[in-house]
Structure 1
């Protein structure tokens, strides 16, 4: 009598992360210098992924390259090298292809007053993208839906208003409605609440979260404010002098920052414990990026002797750090952070 061997138990599969909607792969953007001077390396090697339905905050002080990176991801600035991939396909910089891409990826600028033509009504401002892309459906219905999604209800009440007749928060909602009218998959928002009163900022941030939950929108939010990142982002990427120096889930990066630059940015928040870290000097000239860690000339850990105690002071000054990979895992580009993590020191 033969017995049938038992069926093998099913192997439990590890869930895989969804393919990114938008990716930057080893992206470099160099602006030529004047009269033979070295070029300014505004973006100097960046890998960044944004998953479907994910909000990523790109954080850093003024001049770090975050706006240039954001504009490149939208096809507004062609990279010197590297590539941008959207929905699995490399970005095509021909005029017709970029026009198709901009139906799927929209920009929201910092200053709504500068974004809106003062001679155009709200209706015309929101309908502009529909007309450029020859929207085949009911234009009035599409404008109404976009205004409603942006929180301007009833939408018909706003059709004939001009920008000067609205508050700053309402104008920003009109800009967002113009982006939503084409039903994009991705929004890139450059300092979307920087020009607004504190009482209105929370409403606009809540709007972005609601749009993500209801429409599955992805977003890259460019900001210098880590507090904003905490309130809105799923992941955060911290940028310094053309490179991302720390990235990960927002809870990981903002509650246990590993890079001294991230620690310094967090230290100046009102609720931060201890004394704020005042960084010495200004960021280096992007046309003359120093060797070693590009933050070392301003690093409070190197200046205090902690890096020397960990045995990495020379590395900080002379040994370059690799470009952080894209993806969801927490990463840091810092000799001291890596050494202390491996040694178990705090």
Structure 2
């Protein structure tokens, strides 16, 4: 008996975000047609190299950057960008930034940093109890030890836990974590990742984790969405994507991990430029499959250079946007 997956908590549908160029320069299509769903209690990793559009996509999902086209829905309702509605939305969806040192005001104590969200949203309950509870859930125990400390008195891992506590204090349903462990020592990274998993298990918290690190995605995510030049090019369950990647871009990203087998794939050509999206597959100028002649042998080289690929659906099934993969799949049937 098959069970119907729960309805998405947060969903992007045909989402586009474009920024006009300065002094007549071409428009930058930072997000150029994205469907993405995040279900209740699910952790989705959005991965890709710098400049691929993943942070802009995350900011648009948070309501910080209004989309040029498409829409964002939360709990089945379209996101309302009016001031009061957006404020209520941001209580339910919280952001965790990658640099805790930059996120925390050095003149505020830990107590004030965590209580700030409560004060912005007019919390009428016991503020001290809420702050202490959030710190405890973030792993800072006993919380009384940390309430009057300043950020410079804490370690990097403790500062990140304070940032997470500041998000948790509002009891959100989903957090968006942008490179949550990128600035931390390797010894602390595992602790923060374990904390995020614990919060998911204990609170039913959903999360979108934005990262360039596929190793992080392997350790924390239920699903992975691989983004390149404004679009998701491969998506599916973490085990499927990271153990048997199909898109050449995903294969290249995985090949440079220390534990990867074989030689690393060194991508040629220029890195992504959202103001110069090429025709056809947007990865073709750097694609190792096209460069090696494999796409030519499969009869899709011209399509790679000239034929656009469809936007992948936002659901959980495994999908890949690649002419060569489509040809190889058809041949195997």
TM over 0.5: yes
Residue 280 of structure 2 corresponds to 292
1:76 and 2:31 correspond: no
Q: CA deviation at 1:37?
A: 1.9
In the alignment, is the contact (CA less than 8 A) between 1:241 and 1:283 conserved in 2?
no
Q: Which moved more, 1:98-107 or 1:334-343?
A: 334-343
Find 1:24's aligned residue among 9, 12, 25: 12
Residue 149 of structure 2 corresponds to 161
Task: Map residues 160-199 of structure 1 onto 2, 5 A cutoff.
Answer: 160-199=148-187
**Equivalent pairs, count:** 333
Residue 229 of structure 1 corresponds to 217
Q: Secondary structure at the match of 2:278?
A: coil
Q: Secondary structure at the match of 2:71?
A: strand
In the alignment, is the contact (CA less than 8 A) between 1:122 and 1:162 conserved in 2?
yes
Please list the CA deviations of residues 256-299 of structure 1 after superposition, one character each: whole Å capped at 9, or x if unmatched: 00000000000000000000000012224211100000000000
Q: Secondary structure at the match of 1:119?
A: coil
Q: CA deviation at 1:185?
A: 0.1
| Structure 1 unmatched ranges of 5 or more | 1-11
Alpha-carbon distance between aligned partners in 2 of 1:222 and 1:78, rounded to the nearest angstrom = 19
Residue 312 of structure 1 corresponds to 300
Alpha-carbon distance between aligned partners in 1 of 2:130 and 2:328, rounded to the nearest angstrom = 55
Q: CA RMSD in A?
A: 0.8
Find 2:198's aligned residue among 210, 218, 222: 210
Where has structure 1 moved over 6 Å in runs of 4 or more?
A: none
Q: CA deviation at 1:338?
A: 1.1
1:341 and 2:329 correspond: yes
Q: Secondary structure at the match of 1:288?
A: coil
In the alignment, is the contact (CA less than 8 A) between 2:52 and 2:272 conserved in 1?
no
1:243 and 2:231 correspond: yes
Kindly name which structure, 1 or 2, has the bigger radius of gyration based on alpha carbons.
Answer: 1
| Structure 2 unmatched ranges of 5 or more | none
TM-score normalised according to structure 1 size: 0.95
TM-score normalised according to structure 2 size: 0.99
Alpha-carbon distance between aligned partners in 1 of 2:245 and 2:318, rounded to the nearest angstrom = 10
